[in-house]
């Protein structure tokens, strides 16, 4: 599963919209998509922490 799909799925499980998730990260939704697709480790780590992802699936 690609990272963007995983983020979408886990955000839904936490009852968060992607806009709300991006807001918690401190960036716009569009900017968040860009950072996920370009594997920005700093942003991916923040997303993992907010979504409480175990085993760091985004930054492996």
User: Is residue 44 packed enough to be buried (19+ CB in 10 Å), middle (13-18) or exposed (0-12)?
Assistant: buried
Q: Check if the beta carbon of residue 50 is closer than 8 Å to that of residue 44.
A: no
The pLDDT score that the predictor gives to residue 60 is: 80
Q: Check if the beta carbon of residue 51 is closer than 8 Å to that of residue 10.
A: yes
Per-residue pLDDT tens over the stretch 25-59: 999 999 999 999 999 999 999 999 999 999 899 98
Q: Check if the beta carbon of residue 59 is closer than 8 Å to that of residue 41.
A: yes
Domain for residue 32, yes or no?
Answer: yes
Provide the domain limits for residue 10: 3-51
At 1, is the pLDDT very low, low, confident or very high (cuts 50, 70, 90)?
confident
Domain for residue 56, yes or no?
Answer: no
Per-residue pLDDT tens over the stretch 10-28: 999 999 999 999 999 999 9
Total tally of structural domains belonging to the chain? 1
Domain for residue 58, yes or no?
Answer: no
pTM of the model: 0.93
Domain for residue 57, yes or no?
Answer: no
Domain for residue 21, yes or no?
Answer: yes
Domain for residue 38, yes or no?
Answer: yes
Domain for residue 36, yes or no?
Answer: yes
Nearest to 50 by CA among 27, 31, 22, 30: 22
């Amino acid at each position: 599963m690609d990272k963007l799909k995983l983020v979408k799925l886990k955000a839904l499980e936490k009852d968060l919209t992607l806009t709300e998730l991006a807001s918690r990260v401190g960036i716009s939704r569009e900017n968040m998509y860009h950072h996920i697709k370009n594997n920005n480790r700093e942003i991916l780590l923040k997303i993992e922490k907010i979504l409480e992802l175990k085993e760091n699936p985004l930054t492996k």
